[in-house]
Amino acid sequence: MSFDPVPVALRRSRSVASSRVGMPHTPPAAGMPEEGSLADRYGRIHTDLRISVTDRCNLRCVYCMPEEGVPTMPRSELLTFEEIERVAQVAYRLGVNAVRLTGGEPLVRKGLVDLVGRLARIGFEDLALTTNGMALPALARPLADAGLARINISCDSLRHERFASIRRRGRLDGVLEAMSAAEEAGLGPVKVNVVLMAGWNDDEVLDFAEFARATRRVVRFIEFMPLDAQGSWSSDLVVPGEKVLAQINAVWPLEEVERASDQGAPAERFRFADGAGEIGIIRSVTQPFCSTCDRLRLMADGAIRNCLFSDDELSVRDVLRNGGGDDDVARLLRRSVWAKAPGHGINEPDFLRPVRSMSMIGG
């Protein structure tokens, strides 16, 4: 099994250009509510905004980006912090109560601490960040002081050489140091994101479970999704969450942690029956959780996207830079949510990968 280092042309599932709305004063879509919370046609209320602050990354994980030749968005196309803050303020008014910053690698965006401060002042109940941890040791304390509440750190192997071969850059020690720095800064309990790939790191499930028990960090096993820029994903590489659970449960019995009825979080939570911590599994491929999805995405270039797998994007940057007001931004957010499909369709025979890959969209 190998990953093609050169990005291949991806099929376009839908026309991105034709679906973008560049002008302010976007008309409402038929039947779309003009007030109240961000509801879609299937009754899902959207309260969680993922904000990608950059498509750049200092790593080249095999399941995400090619090693070389990664095209990046021109800086002038990225939303400024003022623009991100404005969209976030409107989203807050529409009932969004949780924000997660992501990328690319969010910590490579200069001045991120300033953005965290701006978002914290809006008053979200939850303000979180997903990072590869490379730059975290120096930033954990300033981020926490600026109002960051929680952190997820990606780490796909606990073996030095393997870590290097999956991530292609960076060192395991640096990520472990980042986890400690986050805890010292009060950002614990740290969640550790592990993308499992068959034949790459699926023999480390028990090692990670043991790590979760020893450190009380919440390890979350994520199924590999068809969002890598190289187009190397295949269903053979997916390690089903069910298998992960069975393997851990056979050694350390697990109990499911019940979700609150209004909780749309992707991870299913399980605690060790002996009280030694918790793990999570994210079964986006084998057991999609679209019916409870409450997420909306703001990409670094200002595209609003209602699903990782949907190419239908609306440009809030165009609205803002063409003089649109807060009501225009609100209408755009409502339109995006209203257009959301009932599911991502990965397992449907006519599924087409999205044109933009994970690092561009923001995971």
H/E stretch holding 19:
helix 16-19
Residue 101 vs 316, nearer CB to ligand SAM:
101
Interacting positions 82-121 with ligand SAM (CB under 6 A): 102-103, 105
Nearest approach in angstroms of CB 323 to ligand SAM is 32
Question: Pick from 224, 252, 270, 338: which binds ligand SAM (CB under 6 A)?
Answer: 224
Residue 24 vs 133, nearer CB to ligand SAM:
133
Nearest approach in angstroms of CB 30 to ligand SAM is 34
Describe the strand order of the beta sheet including 278-282 as a list of residue ranges. Answer: 254-256, 268-272, 278-282, 218-223, 191-196, 150-154, 126-131, 98-102, 48-52, 295-298, 303-305, 313-315
Question: Pick from 26, 47, 89, 130: which binds ligand SAM (CB under 6 A)?
Answer: 130
CB–CB of 341/108 below 8 Å?
A: no
H/E stretch holding 128:
strand 126-131
- Does residue 189 have a cis peptide bond before it, meaning omega lies within 30 degrees of 0? yes
Q: Which of 151, 157, 123 is nearest to 137 (CA)?
A: 151
Interacting positions 22-81 with ligand SAM (CB under 6 A): 57, 63-64
Q: Which of 80, 166, 180 is nearest to 133 (CA)?
A: 180
Question: Pick from 304, 336, 359, 360: which binds ligand SAM (CB under 6 A)?
Answer: 359
DSSP 315-338: EHHHHHHTT--HHHHHHHHHHHHH
Nearest approach in angstroms of CB 320 to ligand SAM is 24
Interacting positions 192-221 with ligand SAM (CB under 6 A): 193, 195
Give CA–CA dist 336/38, Å, rounded: 9
The residues near 152 (Cβ < 8 Å, ≥ 6 apart) are 128, 129, 130, 131, 190, 191, 192, 193, 220
Residue 264 vs 363, nearer CB to ligand SAM:
363
Residue 228 engages ligand SAM in binding (rule: CB under 6 A):
yes
Residue 363 engages ligand SAM in binding (rule: CB under 6 A):
yes
Residue 89 vs 154, nearer CB to ligand SAM:
154
CB–CB of 49/298 below 8 Å?
A: yes
> What number of chain residues touch ligand SAM (CB under 6 A)?
20
Q: Which residue is nearest to ligand SAM (CB)?
A: 363
Instruction: Enumerate binding residues for ligand SAM (CB under 6 A).
Output: 57, 63-64, 102-103, 105, 130-132, 154, 193, 195, 222, 224-225, 227-228, 358-359, 363
